[in-house]
């Protein structure tokens, strides 16, 4: 039965989205919000994870009367198999993103892609050094080619542990070895998981779930890390940068183009081409004041972090952006793109353009991105959008006035620099602040929006409450954009709400208490930051000992399942605002929760209420502090110059 339709204010937190939902109702447009209500209550068997459609003797479902499927699989096996397949989906998405980038990177190194260059040679040297590649006296392209080949072999290696795992603290890595979840090549992990979950193969829920952790490590410390590192080398390591977020970034007198998805290769080219004098002239001749490029979801995060391009919105705003009636073109690449976009666009003039052969949508215009002529390809797309400006119907245009300023661009390099300066760049001041108790700990708040919960509400509630309690927040993905829309990503606005200790540190260093670290693949930056904290000393010898917690408040995608698993396997407790589909098996629930905590130092905890989540996060952080012995009251000492030099 369809659910009763919810009011706009019950669906979303920010006023721009409320305004656009009302407009969608007036314009008679169906959106994800109306479709979700029309779906009615979710299927009970799917929600519990006890529906098995792996073979065609079924689908079977587990009930008290029929506790086994036709083949004999019980709830534990079925739930665990379904869970592993979700991790595989997430790992494949992140890692294929990484693969596309590394293949392009290789071509650049071979001189085959003249429109791209290696922007950040310092990053190339830094990252090549991590893999033992000699850099001194060598040509940039030589180093790049050697690194590209190492990364490509990370996908294909058969019986060798991933080299990227060596980026983790030694003790954390040792846990993976002891627990036998050290992944081999990324592609092998994905294929083997699909084999194991085929009918009649792996039936032990513990063995299946260990494969889920193992595969997720191939994502977090493998494919995703490769994607982040290659993006930094190709397009630049992010540094703090100002911008704005929410639908109010769209401009009435300009041609609005929105990029949406995840991969930065095309959006980077578009971001460069909008400043081309020829494009500026072309826009003027079409009667526009220029071209305004903005982003959605993680493609937005990629070009926000490096170029300060505005964010039009996060995941559940993709249809709402079209409903403004002011978007000439939405250019989509991969992941998190709703198939409904061309349908919504039919009522306006927006052109939806898909750009990769692995992601096509009925009703979208497909224009394959020509890598060999990337800049011209980008210019052609922009011209097509400009040509569409004349089709805009002013009567349908309504751009919400709401946007918020923000600062993004907090790569680990940037944080290190902010903390220590050019010559003493280090995490030492952060470790010291945690040891002294001015900062109680660190919380990574990541992931999507989910139609089941009021958009951004859980994310923003816990963020606000945790900074008040002196917890430094690291953010990525749509969760970071939620904070941006709420004005939490500026030092000024957020510091008003931060606790005294955190505020002092942030004011001294000049950082906001909520740090935007990038897109979903950039969750690896959070792992890298945790590793820096370990190596800096004083907060334990592995990630599990650091007073740090992860939260996925409003997650919805398979990628989030994989991310959660690699955080847990790395020793971080992960709080979920939305449950996994595992409640049909108590054994699976325990294995991912308490059992995982005993083995890795972190486990999953589902907490639907944000304030309860805050209490749990604080108690986990305080427990970790107790274990480290840093909760003893120490007299606060003001440092003089001599002390500082000693540090
Ligand atoms: S875009 S995976 S909705 S964070 Fe990365 Fe947002 Fe989640 Fe997609």
pLDDT (0 to 100) of residue 644? 55
Using the mean position of ligand 1's atoms as its centre, give its distance from the Cα of residue 469 in Å. Answer: 27
For the Cβ of 557 lying below 6 angstroms from any atom of ligand 1, the answer is yes
In whole angstroms, what is the distance from residue 234 CA to residue 324 CA?
34
pLDDT (0 to 100) of residue 638? 56
pLDDT (0 to 100) of residue 579? 98
Using the mean position of ligand 1's atoms as its centre, give its distance from the Cα of residue 447 in Å. Answer: 6
In whole angstroms, what is the distance from residue 177 CA to residue 192 CA?
19
Domain 75-235 in this protein, CATH class: mainly alpha
Report the atom number in ligand 1 closest to the C-alpha of 560: 2
pLDDT (0 to 100) of residue 5? 75
At residue 597 the predicted structure's pLDDT band, cuts being 50, 70 and 90, is very high
Is the CB of residue 482 less than 8 Å from the CB of residue 457?
Answer: no
Using the mean position of ligand 1's atoms as its centre, give its distance from the Cα of residue 91 in Å. Answer: 14
Report if pTM > 0.85. yes
For the Cβ of 518 lying below 6 angstroms from any atom of ligand 1, the answer is no
pLDDT digits (tens, 9 = 90+) for 180-194: 999 999 999 999 999
pLDDT (0 to 100) of residue 637? 56
Using the mean position of ligand 1's atoms as its centre, give its distance from the Cα of residue 477 in Å. Answer: 6
pLDDT (0 to 100) of residue 632? 74
Where do the domains of the chain lie? Answer: 8-61, 75-235, 247-396, 411-628
pLDDT digits (tens, 9 = 90+) for 442-468: 999 999 999 999 999 999 999 999 999
What is the radius of gyration, based on Cα positions, of the chain? Answer: 24
Using the mean position of ligand 1's atoms as its centre, give its distance from the Cα of residue 448 in Å. Answer: 5
Residue 642 CA, distance from chain mean position: 42
Please check the confidence at residue 642 and state whether its pLDDT lies above 70: no
- CATH code for the domain defined by 411-628: 3.40.50.2030
In whole angstroms, what is the distance from residue 124 CA to residue 528 CA?
17
For the Cβ of 316 lying below 6 angstroms from any atom of ligand 1, the answer is no
Long-range CB contact pairs, 29-34, < 8 A, 24+: 29/319, 29/323, 29/344, 29/347, 30/340, 30/343, 30/344, 31/319, 31/320, 31/323, 31/340, 31/344, 32/316, 32/319, 32/338, 32/340, 32/451, 33/6, 33/316, 33/451, 34/5
For the Cβ of 546 lying below 6 angstroms from any atom of ligand 1, the answer is no
In whole angstroms, what is the distance from residue 359 CA to residue 356 CA?
6
For the Cβ of 520 lying below 6 angstroms from any atom of ligand 1, the answer is yes
Using the mean position of ligand 1's atoms as its centre, give its distance from the Cα of residue 446 in Å. Answer: 9
For the Cβ of 300 lying below 6 angstroms from any atom of ligand 1, the answer is no
Select from 298, 316, 564 the residue to mutate for testing ligand 1; criterion: most ligand atoms less than 8 Å from CB.
Answer: 298
The helix or strand, by DSSP H or E, that contains position 514, with its residue range, turns out to be strand 514-516
Using the mean position of ligand 1's atoms as its centre, give its distance from the Cα of residue 411 in Å. Answer: 19
Please check the confidence at residue 609 and state whether its pLDDT lies above 80: yes
pLDDT (0 to 100) of residue 2? 60
Largest CA distance in the chain: 76
Using the mean position of ligand 1's atoms as its centre, give its distance from the Cα of residue 93 in Å. Answer: 11
The 3-state DSSP class for residue 350 equals coil
For the Cβ of 297 lying below 6 angstroms from any atom of ligand 1, the answer is yes
pLDDT average, residue stretch 497-505? 94
- CATH code for the domain defined by 247-396: 3.40.50.2030
Shared fold status for 75-235 and 247-396: no
For the Cβ of 448 lying below 6 angstroms from any atom of ligand 1, the answer is yes
**CA angle (522, 105, 298) in 5-degree steps:** 30
Which residues, in sequence order, are bridge partners of residue 257?
293, 329
Please check the confidence at residue 56 and state whether its pLDDT lies above 80: yes
Using the mean position of ligand 1's atoms as its centre, give its distance from the Cα of residue 327 in Å. Answer: 21
Ligand 1: residue whose CA is nearest its atom 3: 448
Among 54, 58, 100, 57, CA closest to 78: 54
Select from 477, 552, 556 the residue to mutate for testing ligand 1; criterion: most ligand atoms less than 8 Å from CB.
Answer: 477
In whole angstroms, what is the distance from residue 8 CA to residue 319 CA?
14
For the Cβ of 599 lying below 6 angstroms from any atom of ligand 1, the answer is no
pLDDT (0 to 100) of residue 515? 97
In whole angstroms, what is the distance from residue 229 CA to residue 214 CA?
21
For the Cβ of 455 lying below 6 angstroms from any atom of ligand 1, the answer is no
Using the mean position of ligand 1's atoms as its centre, give its distance from the Cα of residue 557 in Å. Answer: 7
Report the atom number in ligand 1 closest to the C-alpha of 520: 5
For the Cβ of 315 lying below 6 angstroms from any atom of ligand 1, the answer is yes
Using the mean position of ligand 1's atoms as its centre, give its distance from the Cα of residue 147 in Å. Answer: 28
In whole angstroms, what is the distance from residue 347 CA to residue 477 CA?
29
Using the mean position of ligand 1's atoms as its centre, give its distance from the Cα of residue 160 in Å. Answer: 31
pLDDT digits (tens, 9 = 90+) for 541-581: 999 999 999 999 999 999 999 999 999 999 999 999 999 99
Please check the confidence at residue 608 and state whether its pLDDT lies above 70: yes
pLDDT (0 to 100) of residue 639? 58
Select from 98, 227, 315, 452 the residue to mutate for testing ligand 1; criterion: most ligand atoms less than 8 Å from CB.
Answer: 315
Report the atom number in ligand 1 closest to the C-alpha of 559: 2
pLDDT average, residue stretch 383-388? 98
pLDDT digits (tens, 9 = 90+) for 398-418: 999 999 999 999 999 999 999
Average pLDDT, the chain: 95
For the Cβ of 543 lying below 6 angstroms from any atom of ligand 1, the answer is no
């Amino acid at each position: 039965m369809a659910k009763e339709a919810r009011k706009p204010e019950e669906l979303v937190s920010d006023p721009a989205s409320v305004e656009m939902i009302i407009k969608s109702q007036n314009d008679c447009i169906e959106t994800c919000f109306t479709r979700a209500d029309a779906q009615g209550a979710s299927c009970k068997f799917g929600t519990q994870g006890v529906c098995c459609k792996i073979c065609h003797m079924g689908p079977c479902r587990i009930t008290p009367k029929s506790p086994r499927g036709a083949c004999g699989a019980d709830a534990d096996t079925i739930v665990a198999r379904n869970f592993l397949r979700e991790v595989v989906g997430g790992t494949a998405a992140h890692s294929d993103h990484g693969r596309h980038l590394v293949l392009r990177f290789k071509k650049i190194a071979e001189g085959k892609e003249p429109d791209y260059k290696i922007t950040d040679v310092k990053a190339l040297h830094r990252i090549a050094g991590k893999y033992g590649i000699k850099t001194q006296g060598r040509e940039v392209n030589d180093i790049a080619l050697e690194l590209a080949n190492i990364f490509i072999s990370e996908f294909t290696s058969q019986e060798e542990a991933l080299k990227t795992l060596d980026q983790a603290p030694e003790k954390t890595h040792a846990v993976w070895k002891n627990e036998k979840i050290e992944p081999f090549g990324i592609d092998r992990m994905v294929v083997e998981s699909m084999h194991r979950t085929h009918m009649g193969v792996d039936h032990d829920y513990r063995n299946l779930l260990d494969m889920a952790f193992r595969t997720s490590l191939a994502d977090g410390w493998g494919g995703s890390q490769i994607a982040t590192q290659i993006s930094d080398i190709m397009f630049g390591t992010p540094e703090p940068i100002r911008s704005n977020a929410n639908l109010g970034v769209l401009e009435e007198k300009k041609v609005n183009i929105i990029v949406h998805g995840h991969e930065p290769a095309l959006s980077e080219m578009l971001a460069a081409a909008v400043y081309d004098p020829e494009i500026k002239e072309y826009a003027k001749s079409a009667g526009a004041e220029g071209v305004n490029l903005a982003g959605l979801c993680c493609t937005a995060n990629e070009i926000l972090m490096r170029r300060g391009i505005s964010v039009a919105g996060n995941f559940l705003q993709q249809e709402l952006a079209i409903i403004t009636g002011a978007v000439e073109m939405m250019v989509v690449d991969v992941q998190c793109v709703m198939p409904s976009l061309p349908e919504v666009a039919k009522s306006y003039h927006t052109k939806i353009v898909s750009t990769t052969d692995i992601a096509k949508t009925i009703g979208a215009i497909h224009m394959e991105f020509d890598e060999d002529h990337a800049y011209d390809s980008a210019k052609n797309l922009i011209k097509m959008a400009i040509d569409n400006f004349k089709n805009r119907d002013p009567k349908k245009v309504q751009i919400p006035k709401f946007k918020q300023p923000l600062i993004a661009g907090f790569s680990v390099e940037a944080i290190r620099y902010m903390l220590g300066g050019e010559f003493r760049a280090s995490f030492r001041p952060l470790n010291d602040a945690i040891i002294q108790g001015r900062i109680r700990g660190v919380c990574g708040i990541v992931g999507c929006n989910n139609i089941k919960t009021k958009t951004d509400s859980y994310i923003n509630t816990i963020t606000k409450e945790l900074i008040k309690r002196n917890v430094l927040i690291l953010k990525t993905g749509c969760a970071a954009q939620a904070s941006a829309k709420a004005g939490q990503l500026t030092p000024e606005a957020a510091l008003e709400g931060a606790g005294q200790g955190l505020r002092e540190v942030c004011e001294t260093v000049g950082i906001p208490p909520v740090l935007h670290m990038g897109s979903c693949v950039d969750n690896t930056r959070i792992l890298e930051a945790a590793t820096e904290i370990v190596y800096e000393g004083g907060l334990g010898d592995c990630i599990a000992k650091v007073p740090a917690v992860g939260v996925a408040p409003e997650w919805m995608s398979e990628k989030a399942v994989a991310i959660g698993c690699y955080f847990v396997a790395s020793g971080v407790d992960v709080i979920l605002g939305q449950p996994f589909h595992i409640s049909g098996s108590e054994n699976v629930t325990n294995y991912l929760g308490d059992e995982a905590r005993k083995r890795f130092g972190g486990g999953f905890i589902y907490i639907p209420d944000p304030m309860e989540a805050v209490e749990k996060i604080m108690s986990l952080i305080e427990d970790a502090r107790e274990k480290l012995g840093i909760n003893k009251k120490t007299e606060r000492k003001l440092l003089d110059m001599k002390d500082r030099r000693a540090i």
